[in-house]
Structure 1
Amino acid sequence: MISITKKIEFEAAHRLSSYDGPCREIHGHTYKLEVTVSGQDLNETDMILDFKTLKKIIKTAILDQFDHSLILKDNTENRLFLTNYPGKIFWMETEPTGERMILVMVQLIHSLLPQSIRLDQVVLYETSNSYLTWKNNKG
């Protein structure tokens, strides 16, 4: 099994509408994302997956959705508050905590990977010293 990892950064803002503290306010982060995939077999170019292909998958799954967006729970409070907001909003069914965001990102990335490639790990840095890790526990 061979693994490759691609790292990207993106800017986004969010608010935790049900949180009792400063994260209830709209605030932004420079997110860093590390995506590790693995494969058993090398393709016709002697790679498990071209880094360019993985980058394109991450762009489509993550950057096109989250980069420079406002990430919010789809609830009445947020809808009323941002009725006339002209910018990019990524609506979530849940509060956009790091834990919920990484689960959505895993689903989005996984849906675009070739069947021969396994998503092993996703690491999401919310700050330079605070991050979350999702690991594929299926052998």
Structure 2
Amino acid sequence: MSQIRITKKFSFETGHALYGYDGKCKNVHGHSYKLNVTVIGTPISDQNHVKFGMVIDFTDLKKIVKEEIVDVFDHATVFNKNTPHVDLAKELKDRGHTVLLVDYQPTSEMMVIDFAEKIKQRLPENISLHSLKLQETESSFAQWFASDNE
């Protein structure tokens, strides 16, 4: 049977600052991110299976991405853990804000790599992550493709 790609779209609001950057993005600011998650697999051919004809139930894909990405990053502020903003991060946390300290510069490029690893670990064995598109603004986005990372 044919391999089929399916895509689910997500959105979340996240703040960040780029440590050491030489432009405006060194300042704390935020984006309305849009994330397209595309997986590939063979539709279930067993007519008696409750998910007959599906590669993966969109509800199951939504659960994975929500738990790993959206629920974690939505309305959070993300800093590189080596940033001098660590004092600000601690103060924000102490005031009840959600702050994530990550091992990377929180650019769209590095976030999409992080997201790919998290999603791949949760997919069923017969489903592969094909690609991610993380849109930071209306005209700017980063893409991750499995074929580029084999």
Task: Output the TM-score relative to the length of structure 1.
Answer: 0.94
Distance 2:35 2:135 in 1: 6
Equivalent of 2:34 in 23, 29, 32: 32
Query: In 2 relative to 1, CA 32–25 (structure 1 residues): closer, same or farther, beyond 3 Å?
Result: same
**Does 1:68 pair with 2:75?**
yes
Runs of 4+ in structure 1 deviating by more than 4 angstroms, as ranges, are none
Larger-gyration structure (1/2): 2
Aligned to 2:128: 118
- The answer to whether the 8 A contact 2:64-2:119 is kept is yes
- The answer to whether the 8 A contact 2:89-2:99 is kept is no
- The answer to whether the 8 A contact 1:33-1:122 is kept is yes
The percent identity for this pair of structures is 37
Deviation string 1:6-46 (CA, Å, 9 cap, x unpaired) is 00110010000110110000011000000000112416221
Structure 2 residues not aligned, in runs of 5+: none
TM-fit CA distance, 1:4:
0.8
Aligned to 2:85, the other structure's residue is in SS state: helix
- The answer to whether the 8 A contact 1:18-1:95 is kept is no
Deviation string 1:56-98 (CA, Å, 9 cap, x unpaired) is 1110111121111001100251212322213111211111011
Aligned to 2:105, the other structure's residue is in SS state: coil
Distance 1:57 1:18 in 2: 33
Aligned to 2:90, the other structure's residue is in SS state: coil
**CA RMSD across the alignment:** 1.5
Aligned to 2:142: 132
Structure 1 residues not aligned, in runs of 5+: none
Deviation string 1:86-130 (CA, Å, 9 cap, x unpaired) is 311121111101111000010111111111100000000000111
